[in-house]
Amino acid sequence: MDKVLLILSHGSKAESITEITYKMRDSISAKNLYSDVKVAFMEFNSPSIPEAIADICKEGAAEIIALPMFLYKGNHILHDIPKELKKAREENPYVTIYMADPIGFDERIADILIERAEGALCQI
């Protein structure tokens, strides 16, 4: 196992919300860009970030890309996730762990939001 993408999601008590994370995982996995695509959650769901990273390391990954499925740089992105990744790096010095940026501003997101707004007009 070479490069593993680890999608980081906030997590939720609502199962329908976590399903979106797994659908995203499946969609990215189908593109065959990474040796594996896994998910981890900040709160409410399993696996947690430390649990997921431990499992990935046991499977022999050389690199892990932690990809936050968050819109902006709030406390989880600025503090919580870096803290978890720092600890994981210390516990697994033979694995390189990267952290990607959150989604942030992107014209493609603006287009999706416009599409949703226009769709709301059709519901009246």
pLDDT tens figures, 17-74:
899 999 999 999 999 999 999 999 999 999 999 999 999 999 999 999 999 999 999 9
For residue 89, give every residue at least 6 positions away whose Cβ sits within 8 Å of its Cβ, in sequence order, or none.
95, 97
CA quadruple 73, 111, 37, 61: dihedral sign:
negative
Query: What is the tens place of the pLDDT at every residue in 74-111?
Result: 999 999 999 999 999 999 999 999 999 999 999 999 99
Listed by start position, the domains of the chain span 3-122
Q: Domain 3-122 belongs to what topology?
A: Rossmann fold (3.40.50)
Q: Which residue has the tokens 């709301």?
A: 120
Q: Is pTM beyond 0.75 here?
A: yes
Confidence band (pLDDT; 50, 70, 90) for 16? confident
* Catalytic site positions: 10
Confidence band (pLDDT; 50, 70, 90) for 1? low
